[in-house]
């Protein structure tokens, strides 16, 4: 199976201000996020990427657009790459939900967590890994593809393909606009790199 680049969307005002966007529509990249997307395109424009897939949320599509233009590829929307459904927590600040007792479950025992009015981490992990595997069946083993998604789904996918317990997935870090690379094998998968963040070199204003 191919090598998959799992790319998190760039910064937006929800990320910047510590709010949880979830699946809210109309969340767009901010100025820094637009810069991050451009840097990604510059870094990957010479890579032999055969296809670009994206979560249907705007912030993911906008992160993929500069790379798609650079490579002359269409962005193929895949609902399975969408953000975890955090239900009633959409729009809330991280500061407010960290006060809740259930936050301990989110951090220490996520396999037991289901967001109020949303999905469980287990459901989210099943969804994104099934989507990645289905995408991989459409490509040759030596091909390189890019999937633009969100922090928790990417971490959940990495945990699954490496055989890490679900309860340990929060130990992984996936920064905005970072690249995580996996070689998906038929019997086993390998992590090539985790959380490559080219935006660290952006000049702060």
Domains of the chain as residue ranges with CATH: 3-201 (3.40.50.1240)
Distance between CA 195 and CA 52 in Å, rounded? 19
Instruction: Give this prediction's pTM.
Output: 0.95
Distance, in Å, from the CA atom of 66 to the CA atom of 161, rounded to the nearest integer, reads 28
Q: What element of type H or E holds 195?
A: strand 190-196
Give the number of C-alpha atoms closer than 13 A to the C-alpha of residue 33, restricted to the C-beta side: 24
Cα–Cα dist 97/76, whole Å:
34
pLDDT at 199: 80
- What is d(CA 129, CA 161) in angstroms, rounded to the nearest whole number? 8
Q: Are strands 144-149 and 49-54 parallel, antiparallel or unpaired?
A: parallel
Query: Is position 9 annotated as part of the catalytic site?
Result: yes
- Mark the ranges of the chain whose per-residue pLDDT is less than 50: 205
pLDDT of residue 204: 53
Tens-digit pLDDT profile for residues 166-187: 999 999 999 999 999 999 988 8
Q: What integer pLDDT is reported at residue 149 of this predicted model? A: 98
Catalytic residue flag (residue 83): yes
Per-residue confidence (pLDDT) for residue 205, from 0 to 100: 42
Q: Which residue has the tokens 């840097």?
A: 39
The residue annotated as part of the active site, out of 11, 62, 65, 83, is 83
Residues sharing a CB contact under 8 Å with residue 135, sequence separation 6 or more, in sequence order: 4, 53, 78, 145, 147
């Amino acid at each position: 199976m191919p090598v998959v680049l799992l790319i998190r969307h760039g910064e937006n005002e929800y990320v910047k201000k510590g709010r949880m966007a979830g699946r809210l529509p109309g969340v767009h990249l901010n100025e820094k996020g637009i810069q991050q997307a451009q840097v990604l395109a510059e870094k990957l424009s010479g890579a032999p990427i055969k296809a670009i897939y994206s979560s249907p949320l705007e912030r993911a599509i906008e992160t993929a657009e500069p790379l798609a233009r650079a490579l002359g590829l269409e962005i193929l929307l895949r609902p399975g790459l969408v953000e975890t459904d955090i239900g009633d927590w959409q729009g809330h600040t991280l500061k407010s939900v960290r006060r809740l007792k259930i936050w301990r479950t989110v951090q220490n025992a996520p396999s037991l967590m289901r967001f109020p009015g949303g999905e469980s981490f287990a459901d989210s992990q099943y969804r994104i890994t099934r989507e990645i595997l289905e995408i991989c069946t459409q490509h040759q083993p030596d091909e390189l593809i890019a999937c633009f998604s969100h922090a928790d789904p990417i971490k959940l996918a990495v945990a699954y393909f490496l055989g890490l317990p679900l309860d340990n997935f929060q130990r992984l870090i996936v920064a905005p606009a970072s690249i995580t690379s996996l070689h998906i094998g038929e019997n086993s998968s390998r992590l090539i790199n985790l959380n490559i963040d080219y935006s660290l070199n952006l000049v702060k204003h």
